[in-house]
Structure 1
Amino acid sequence: MLRKEYPAHISKYLWGGHFWSPSYFAASCGGAPLSIIKEHIDNQKHPD
């Protein structure tokens, strides 16, 4: 609705048409080493 009501004002706050940039979160509760977590993140598909 914001985009429809205030298109000119809202557009300067968008990142590629979105209100936020793509981001990542990684957590481990099993004590996995950071190297394994990083490898898993690096092998994920990245948004275009």
Structure 2
Amino acid sequence: MVYRKRNVVERCFNRLKQWRDLATRYAKGASLYRASLVLIAAIIWLE
């Protein structure tokens, strides 16, 4: 049960890492980084 949940979280992080600006942390400010994270997560969710 725990492994199944961990697998979902790991796959989510791997999909987020595909976005170059998020993986390399181009956005230095915390608010801009969070905004890009939310936007990218929404794009992934809508696919």
Greater relative contact order structure (CA < 8 Å, 6+ sep): 2
Q: Whose Rg is larger? A: 1
Query: Considering the TM-score relative to the shorter chain, is it more than 0.5?
Result: no
Higher helix fraction (1 or 2): 2
Normalised TM-score (structure 1): 0.36
